Amino acid sequence: MKPISRRAVLTMGGLGLASTVVGGTGLRRELNPSVLDPAAGESFTEPEVLRSQGGRLDVRLEAAFGTHQLAGRQARTMGYNGGVPGPTLRLRPGDTVRLDLVNRLEEVTNLHVHGLHVSPEGNGDNIFLAVEPGRTQRYEYRLPDDHPPGVYWYHPHHHGNVADQVFGGLYGAIVVEDPAEELEVDRERVMVVSDITLDRGGSLVTPSTMEQMMGREGELVLLNGQRAPRLQGRSGERERWRIVNACTSRYLALDLSGQEPRVVGRDVGRLARDGALGDVVLAPGNRLDLVVDLAQGSSELLAQPVDRGGMMGGMMGGGGPSFGGGGPVTLARVEVGSGGGPGRGGIPAGPSLRDLRDAEVDQRRSITFQMGMGGMMGGGGGPMSFTFDGQEFDADRIDQQVRLGTVEEWTIGNDSPLDHPFHLHVWPMQLLEVNGQEVAEPLWLDVVNVPARSRVKVRVAFEDFGGKTVYHCHILDHEDRGMMGTVLAQ
């Protein structure tokens, strides 16, 4: 994959946008020696799988700080049930999940089931709940009978410490299976990509204020808690990779040269037709459903550097190279031997996707990401403010009130020099336009990247569930510093 300038023309296709790749968050950082210590090349492993039975899944998740196996070494991190990532939850549409979150941390936490279309009220996907140290919170989610299949994930969402807890190791995957799926594969893998910074002793390193303002990127990039593990297969086999970007700030432009990857799903379910991996960049929180028809030989799954803007150049003068280094990162090494058979041929088409472009629009809104000097905009979160429309998050304020059962069109602006990924809880968004350029085919996401100095347009069907929840920047340091708003559907 050849890097291109972020100022190159955005290309669109059936999958949406091919985001711009090269380095450049405008902050130089020396490589920590700890990056050289962890083991690389272990055999690929996956977290424990907890699968629903008879329409129900009962789960106990313990969030704790302790010693965990990470990148082939012992590290002092956070984790769920003693692992990083936490267990993978496998569900089906119509299932009920009863989940006990046990807080063994020394700070408040809670839980968000990212991307699931479930109620935000009571003990559902309610991010306003606060689980104090030593307490247990029962969550209960019922998936609609027509819930889109796909890969989702869970992580903490208590305002003010979300970035620290996700960066520290609290995250896990959710797979909603499709009982009617016609796509046959020889093997399925769940891949959770995250990053972290450890010192030589294996302890978490606290990011600097500047790193938090930019959105921290860890020096150690992990796949299921491993550093560049080995994946083995045989030529002709077809694999399905469910990929989660669980990084706090890092964008992922994935490259699998030497193999034949095809994108069959994005955040919310299958796509109507498969597309090229190079057409997709995963912002923090995005997911990808990939089919790989294995070809004999050795190759690498790479994360190419992504230019997400530069605060220094846009607000303080000057510029700078990429944060954390400008080269590609090896996520996994793929070794394919012979003898797997002749292959499976074409990929079956996915279902036709709902299209809101002809829907009656009840209301049109504009919401704008803004950054500024803290003193200039009255922010209290440090030297810079991170807001929507100049207002930092206030849980007691309703920022957007919508009518349940209606379709709305939201124009999301970005007046800042950094890209910001926009995440709306509960209700997925159909991406319509980026800077006036129309998306050719229906594309449903729950995290939509808004490039620096740009505008995107989405439509949302506020249906099935009422209640109060949030939208926010999924660069989690920005969310914690105030770049979040509330929405009430009733």
- The answer to whether residue 274 sits within a structural domain is yes
* Contacts with 172 (C-beta within 8 Å, 6 or more apart), sequence order: 47, 80, 85, 86, 87, 88, 89, 153, 154, 155, 192
Q: At which of 125, 160, 176 does a domain end?
A: 176
Instruction: With cut-offs at 50, 70 and 90, classify the pLDDT of residue 197.
Output: very high
pLDDT tens sequence across 259-294: 989 999 999 989 999 999 999 999 999 999 999 999
CATH code of residue 292: 2.60.40.420
Residue listed under structure tokens 């991307």: 115
* Contacts with 65 (C-beta within 8 Å, 6 or more apart), sequence order: 76, 77, 78, 104, 105, 106, 168
User: How many percent of the chain have pLDDT more than 90?
Assistant: 80
- The answer to whether residue 350 sits within a structural domain is no
Instruction: With cut-offs at 50, 70 and 90, classify the pLDDT of residue 384.
Output: confident
Full residue range of the structural domain in which residue 447 is found: 361-489
Residue 320 predicted with pLDDT over 70:
no
| 208, 332: one domain | yes
Residue listed under structure tokens 């130089």: 28
Mean pLDDT of 293-309: 94
| 188, 282: one domain | yes
The DSSP symbol for 246 reads -
- The answer to whether residue 208 sits within a structural domain is yes
Q: Which residues pair with 330 in a beta bridge?
A: 302
CA 268 to chain centre: 12
- The answer to whether residue 247 sits within a structural domain is yes
| 202, 294: one domain | yes
Instruction: With cut-offs at 50, 70 and 90, classify the pLDDT of residue 327.
Output: confident
Instruction: With cut-offs at 50, 70 and 90, classify the pLDDT of residue 318.
Output: very low
pLDDT tens sequence across 203-213: 999 999 999 99
Please provide residue 370's backbone torsions phi and psi, each rounded to the nearest 5 degrees: -140, 140
- At residue 181, the pLDDT reads 82
pLDDT tens sequence across 220-245: 999 999 999 999 999 999 999 999 99
Lowest pLDDT segment from 17-31, 183-197, 342-356? 17-31
| Half-sphere exposure at residue 170, Cβ-oriented, CA atoms within 13 angstroms | 28
| 372, 414: one domain | yes
Instruction: Tell me the pairing of strands 56-70 and 73-80.
Output: antiparallel
| 307, 439: one domain | no
Nearest by Cα to 211 from 480, 4, 12: 480
Instruction: With cut-offs at 50, 70 and 90, classify the pLDDT of residue 322.
Output: very low
* Contacts with 399 (C-beta within 8 Å, 6 or more apart), sequence order: 388, 391, 485, 486, 487
| 107, 156: one domain | yes
Instruction: With cut-offs at 50, 70 and 90, classify the pLDDT of residue 14.
Output: very low
Residue 9 predicted with pLDDT over 50:
no
Please provide residue 237's backbone torsions phi and psi, each rounded to the nearest 5 degrees: -75, 150
Q: From residue 399, how far is each of 125, 239, 395, 471 by CA, in Å?
A: 19, 44, 10, 10
Mean pLDDT of 157-174: 98
Q: What span, in angstroms and rounded, lies between the C-alpha atoms of 15 and 262? A: 11
| 282, 392: one domain | no
- The answer to whether residue 342 sits within a structural domain is no
- The answer to whether residue 201 sits within a structural domain is yes
Lowest pLDDT segment from 13-17, 52-56, 217-221, 314-318? 13-17
Number of domains observed in the structure of the chain = 3
Start-to-end CA distance of the chain, whole Å, equals: 46
- At residue 30, the pLDDT reads 39
Residue 4 predicted with pLDDT over 80:
no
How much is the CA Rg of the chain, to the nearest whole Å?
A: 21
Average pLDDT, the chain: 88
Whether residue 462 contacts residue 119, with contact meaning beta carbons closer than 8 Å, is answered with: no
DSSP assignment string, 338-356: S-S-S---SPPP-PPPP--
- Comparing 180 with 418, the larger pLDDT belongs to 418
Rounded to the nearest 10°, the torsion over CA 20, 442, 438, 409 is -110
Whether residue 78 contacts residue 165, with contact meaning beta carbons closer than 8 Å, is answered with: yes
Q: What span, in angstroms and rounded, lies between the C-alpha atoms of 235 and 338? A: 5
Is pTM beyond 0.95 here? no
Q: What span, in angstroms and rounded, lies between the C-alpha atoms of 34 and 30? A: 12
| 187, 333: one domain | yes
Q: What span, in angstroms and rounded, lies between the C-alpha atoms of 466 and 402? A: 9
Residue 117 predicted with pLDDT over 50:
yes
| 136, 78: one domain | yes
- At residue 240, the pLDDT reads 97
Structure tokens at 166: 């996700």
| 169, 106: one domain | yes
| 273, 142: one domain | no
Q: What span, in angstroms and rounded, lies between the C-alpha atoms of 342 and 308? A: 41
- The answer to whether residue 39 sits within a structural domain is no
- At residue 38, the pLDDT reads 58
Mean pLDDT of 127-137: 98
Q: Is 364 exposed, middle or buried (0-12, 13-18, 19+ CB in 10 A)?
A: exposed
- The answer to whether residue 373 sits within a structural domain is yes
Q: Is 156 exposed, middle or buried (0-12, 13-18, 19+ CB in 10 A)?
A: buried
Task: Report the alpha-carbon angle 9-14-17, nearest 5.
Answer: 30
| 192, 330: one domain | yes
Q: At which of 176, 192, 219 does a domain end?
A: 176
Q: What span, in angstroms and rounded, lies between the C-alpha atoms of 233 and 254? A: 20
Whether residue 36 contacts residue 42, with contact meaning beta carbons closer than 8 Å, is answered with: no
